[in-house]
Every structure is written in structure tokens, then in C-alpha cells.
Amino acid sequence: MLDDQQTIEQIVMRREAVAALDAAEAQDVLDYVDRARVAGERVGGKAQGRRRVDAAVHELSLAMVLPVPTVERQIAMARRVRSVLPSVWQAWVDGQLSTQRVHAIDKAARRLVDAESVAALDLDAVDTAACMTVRQLSEWLDRWVEHTEPDASRARHEKAHADRGVRARALGDGMTRITADVAATDGAAVMQRLTGTAHALPAGDPRTLDQARADLMVDTLLGRRDGGLGYRAVIGITVPLSSLMGFSDQPGELSDRSATIPAQVVRAAMADPKSLLYRLVTDDIGNLMSVQWLGRCAPTKLDQILDFRDGTSVFPTSTVPARLCDDDHSEPWPAETSAANMGPVNRRAHRLKTEGLIGLRQPRPGTFEWTTSTGHTYTRHPQPLPIADWGPTPAVTELPVDPWGDEFAEMLEWFDAA
């Protein structure tokens, strides 16, 4: 039984060990990728070297269960730190700096313009970082960069401005968080506008300030007026028929599986006369039944069925929506063009498969087995569509949606033609 002092010392030792293991993994990853590049260049020059590196990155993605872009960012960070921040690298290897602190220092180094400034940061950062939280370190690094290279402020702003963008992340419970990287002045102006408009709402408005600002932002972007839906977006949602008819509250899902949609939200959207419904028949556990086509290229209807069945690229660590992927034959043409032999594959993985740098087979419809150059196999299992138990029939005097109305008639006609 450890006493309190020994417990604290053991916690510190374990954290140092974790940092050292992260550094060792980074070293192994760099070595693996470098060997792949050398092997490729030996047989096909720089172009083949790049292709072998891409295949190596995809294999690392599968082995580490990380998205390909995340693996690439980790490789780039480790290579930069090892090359231009040797003191930081050694402190990481020795367990003196956590991986989060190394990331923060690397981010600051990338903001610097002068190589001498990077070298100075390498010397200053290790001792300072060891006694600060990650947030404290980030604030110190920001001040250090501004004081060291004040004349490069404009260049740093232009680079940061070039990296601006908008991202969305599902939060669950039918909600999504949208974030935007914009100029600081624009961000302040947007918040002032939203806040001012929210304060100008009628006194009886029940929403909080945050709720009103969120609603105002969405209404403005979508052009909503008087409660209408505004901008007409194409959004695929799969939902059990029982939920659509009001017999259950089993939620629906976006077609790319990125978020669930509460049943009442789907029913409200379906009340819009412009909503279009398709019928997709599944088995009793939610697996979409197979459809076959006689030509080589998947027609639009089969393409849509694959989008609903698979949701995203069938490469195991990819989240690229199926609609943005290539429809790929698992067994090459002239094998049949059917749901049992096709699936959406993101372009990079598709190219590696075509070049024979990674193998793919579909032993069962919706199940995809990927085999890498090292002989490891990784399986992407199907994600069944949402289904619901009808249960006892409730006493309903008026259905939320007429299941045999014009919208459903068009749905039935579409599936019968497929």
C-alpha cells in the first residue's frame, strides 16, 4: 500500500512514461513512413515514393484507428519538432514534456518567420512549459511570439486569415455545433449584431439571450421569414415508418450517420408539402436489401441506395460522406454492378486500391474487408438503418402524416422503378 507521497510520485512517473511512449510512437511512425518513401523511390522515383507514403499513412490510420488527416497532422508535427526544435524533441522523448505541451510549442513555432526565433523558442520553451498548464503555456507562447517578432504581425495575420473556415460537429440529441474562424474584428461585429438584435426582440419573447442569438444566426443564413423553412437544402434522413406516422418516437439519422434527428423534428419537416420521401426496404434488423444493375456505372437510384446504406466512405477510419465518394466495385468490373459488390470509397483510398497498394473485398453486402501491404485485415461492418418496434397500436384520431398521400405515392413509385 503506497502512502500519499508515494502515490503522488507514482502519478508523476506515469505521466512522464505516457509522454515518453507518445514520443516513441512518433519516432516509430516517422521511421515507418520514411522507409515506405525510400522503398517507393527505389522502384519508381519520387512519384512512387509519394504513393507508398500515402499507402503507409492509410495503414497507420487503420492500425491506430485514427482518421487519415489526423495521422498526417501527427506525422507533420513530429517531423517539424524533431527537425527544428531538438530540445523540445528530447524533452518529449525523456518524458519531461507532455504531448499536449509539445503540440502547443509546435503551433507557436509555426507562427514564427525567422529561423533564429525558432531556435530561441526551442531553448526557452522547455523549462517554462514544464511548470505551466497547457492553457497557461499557450498564453505565454502567444506573448513570446508577439514580443519576439512584432514586425511579422501582419504576415502572421495574413497566414491565419488564409486558414479561415467553418466546421460542424454533431453534439447528439439532434443538435450540431457550428464554429467559424474569422477575423477578430468581424467576429466582434457579428456578436454585437446578434446581441443587439436579440435585445430588440419583444419583451415577451421566452428565449434566453444565447438561444435568441443562435436562432437569429440560423434564420439570417437560411433566409427564414415568419416561421418558414427558408433556404431549400438537400438533406437525407432515414427514419422508421412507424416514427413518421406517429406510432413511435424512434429517431431518424442523417444519411451520413453524423447525427440523429428526433422523431418530432422529422415529422415537422415532413409536413412541408415540398418534402420528398423515398421508400427503402430493410430486413428485420435494419440492413438494406440488395439492388442490382446490369451496366458498369451505378445509376442515380443505386447510387442513392448506397449512400443511404453506407452513409460514409467504407474505408474504416473515414467519415467522408458517401455522396462525396466514388462508387467503387469491390470485385473489379466486369463483376456485377450491385449493392452486394459496390460501395462508396473516398478518392484517396480508391486510388490506393486501384494501384494494388491496398486490397478490398465485400464478403457480404455492406461488410468491407481491407487488407494492407503488411497483411493486416481491417473490417468495416454495416451500420443498420434505424428501425422501431411498432408495439401496440395507439388510439390515434389523426395521423401526423398521411402514409398514402401524394408524397408517399411518389416514394413508392421511386422504389418500384429501382
How far apart (Å, rounded) are the C-alpha atoms in residues 364 and 193? 54
DSSP 323: G
pTM of model > 0.85: no
pLDDT, tens only, 241-288? 677 777 777 777 777 777 777 878 777 777 666 665 555 555 555 565
- Which of these, 166, 189, 188, 186, lies nearest to 178 by C-alpha position? 166
Cβ atoms < 10 Å from Cβ of 270: 19
The confidence score (pLDDT) of residue 280 equals 57
pLDDT, tens only, 110-143? 999 999 999 999 999 999 998 899 999 999 999 9
Domain boundaries, the chain: 4-161, 166-222, 237-282+387-417, 292-380
Cβ atoms < 10 Å from Cβ of 298: 21
How far apart (Å, rounded) are the C-alpha atoms in residues 212 and 208? 6
- Which of 117-121, 175-179, 236-240 shows the lowest per-residue confidence on average (mean pLDDT)? 236-240
What is the torsional sign of CA 141, 142, 148, 149?
Answer: positive
| Helix spans in 130-231 (H) | 134-148, 153-162, 184-199, 209-222
Give me the count of residues in the chain. 418
Give the pLDDT band of residue 2 (cuts 50, 70, 90): confident
pLDDT, tens only, 344-388? 999 999 999 999 999 999 998 889 999 999 999 999 998 776 666
- How far apart are the two ends of the chain, measured CA to CA in Å? 69
The confidence score (pLDDT) of residue 296 equals 52
Instruction: Report CA-CA distances (Å) from 58 to 29, 63, 317, 364.
Output: 12, 9, 9, 23
Query: CB within 8 A of 148, min separation 6: which ones?
Result: 112, 117, 120, 121
pLDDT, tens only, 224-234? 776 554 445 55
Q: Are 357 and 55 in contact (CB under 8 A)?
A: yes
Q: Which residue has the cell 415529422?
A: 267
